[in-house]
Amino acid sequence: MSDILLVQNIDSYYGKSHILFGASFSVKKGETFCLMGRNGAGKTTTFKNIVMLVPPKSGEVIFNGKKITGMKPYHTARLGLGLVPEDRRIFGLLSVKDNLELGTSTGRLGHWNLELIYSYFPALEEYQERMAGTLSGGEQQMLTIARTLMGNPEILLLDEPTEGLSPVMIKVLKDLVLKLKELNTTILLSEQNIKFSMAVSDRVAIIDRGHMVYEADVDTFRKDDEIKMKYLSV
């Protein structure tokens, strides 16, 4: 399998605060790669650096063999990087359907369209005319993922999708991610939920206070209780 995304030696700052210290990893086409780490470890910052919402201070991001470092976020979206933001960014006063249509602003044609989205997300079809702000937290998470899929990304960046969801919604989300994997979707996931990560990921990396400290295939990670205790227990 070939690398679709290369993150090379990224350093990142917010103002004078140094947040990422030489972060490096790569994602292969068709795999689900999970970045794990405690609250504040730097997962969201890493995702924002990859899609250039926050440009890295140094280092490179390479997508499909092309250097994307320093591009504008709309450009990375057009190239096929689809971020599902942790804070969801739903337009609460717009209808569910209008939120979904906004996802097509990447201008990318492909597998996903409204009809197919509704077959994967039946609740969104049922609520399509409702104001998105009236949906439950779990439904809004689904809407955020569906909206990003409407842009036909080549890689889906799912930033802590289980955060704040009920066990029932986490199960729905797990089934969705497993279905996306069956479609050979390339996924970069960030999580704190170890069980969820082990259920859907192929490889796992850990970031701790802005440093990448671990990388392994999921079966190795599954057995590595010491690592889980050290870097992921609360």
Ligand X SMILES: Nc1ncnc2c1ncn2[C@@H]1O[C@H](COP(=O)(O)OP(=O)(O)O)[C@@H](O)[C@H]1O
The minimum distance between CB 54 and ligand X, in angstroms, equals 8
Q: Which residues of 151-180 are buried (b: 16+ CB within 10 A; e: fewer)?
A: bbbbbbbbbbbbbebeeebbebbbebbeeb
Among the listed residues 12, 27, 41, 44, the single contact to Mg ion using CB under 5 A: 44
Secondary structure percentages of the chain, helix, strand, coil, to 5: 40, 30, 30
Residue at 50: amino acid letter:
I
Per CB under 6 A, 44 contacts ligand X? yes
How many residues touch Mg ion under the rule CB under 5 A: the total is 3
156 binds, among Mg ion, ligand X, none (CB under 5 to 8 A by kind): none
Among the listed residues 42, 56, 82, 153, the single contact to ligand X using CB under 6 A: 42
14 binds, among Mg ion, ligand X, none (CB under 5 to 8 A by kind): ligand X
Per CB under 6 A, 205 contacts ligand X? no
Residue 98 or 208 with smaller CB distance to ligand X: 208
Q: How far is CA 210 from CA 23, 119, 133, 156, 171, in A?
A: 7, 39, 34, 22, 30
Measured CA angle at 36 (ends 33, 37), to 5 deg:
160
Per CB under 6 A, 203 contacts ligand X? no
Residue closest to 233 by CA, chosen among 43, 19, 41, 48: 41
**DSSP H helical segments within 155-224, as ranges?**
167-182, 194-200, 218-223
Near Mg ion by CB under 5 A, which window of 21-29, 64-72, 85-93, 141-149?
A: 85-93
The minimum distance between CB 218 and ligand X, in angstroms, equals 20
Site residues (CB under 5 A) for Mg ion, limited to 58-77: none
Residues in contact with ligand X by CB under 6 A are 14, 17, 19, 37, 39-45
Residues in contact with Mg ion by CB under 5 A are 43-44, 86
